[in-house]
Amino acid sequence: MDSLGVVEVVSIASGAELADGMVKVADVDLLRAAPLCSGRFLIYVSGDREAVQTSVLFARSSQKKLVDSFVISNISPLLIAALKTTEQARRGEALGIVECRNVSAGVNAADKAVKKSEVRLLKFVSGQGIKGKSFFVLGGDVAAVREAVEAASDVLADRLVEAVVIPNPAEAMASALTGGVR
């Protein structure tokens, strides 16, 4: 797998139907097909670049109303790991928190951030319990976190809700964001 396709659909029913079609038109793996709390539907597919592009192009050309869609090639392994689990913060490292208006834009921004700077992607939260928004938490030295947060903010443009860098977070805050500090 070298590419990730992300499609966010306005309707749960339409999203389920679209996800079914996406895996039928190309040889992709369906990583996630699930409703978000906002009544939207999120689809992640992975595979080789051509197959993922074919699948996402199918979604874009459908009559379904999309919130957003992306194909990310040469996906960062840090992003794939963060989509599956949360990593604990390290004592003394800076944290960057980037909040996005939707999930698909957040996935793209997180990938750009970790490719831009030497940071760790500690957590990615996609839509559940936060009205369809997403956010992610980066960790590393202050300069690297600032550079990564700036790269994510630039990519998000009007999809950015807020982005902050906490240079020396309280251990309790770091633990609350990432499930612990080591």
Q: What pLDDT score does 39 carry?
A: 85
Consecutive H or E run containing 112: helix 103-116
Extended strands (E) in the chain: 3-9, 29-35, 41-47, 66-73, 94-100, 120-126, 134-140, 160-166
18 Cβ neighbours under 8 A, 6+ residues apart: 7, 9, 41, 43, 59, 62, 64
Q: How far apart are CA 172 and CA 89, in angstroms?
A: 11
Q: Tens place of pLDDT for every residue, the chain, 182 residues?
A: 689 999 999 999 999 999 999 999 999 999 889 888 778 899 999 999 999 999 999 999 999 999 889 899 998 988 888 877 889 999 999 999 999 998 888 999 999 999 999 999 999 998 767 777 899 999 999 999 999 999 999 999 999 999 999 999 999 999 999 988 98
Q: How far apart are CA 102 and CA 39, in angstroms?
A: 12
Q: What pLDDT score does 91 carry?
A: 94
107 Cβ neighbours under 8 A, 6+ residues apart: 4, 6, 44, 70, 72, 79, 83, 124, 126, 134
Sign of the Cα torsion 167, 171, 177, 182 reads: positive
What 3-state DSSP class applies to 163?
A: strand
Consecutive H or E run containing 86: none
Q: What pLDDT score does 130 carry?
A: 76
Structural domains of the chain ordered from first start:
3-73 (3.30.70.1710), 77-178 (3.30.70.1710)
Largest CA-CA distance found in the chain, in angstroms, rounded: 49
What 3-state DSSP class applies to 26?
A: coil
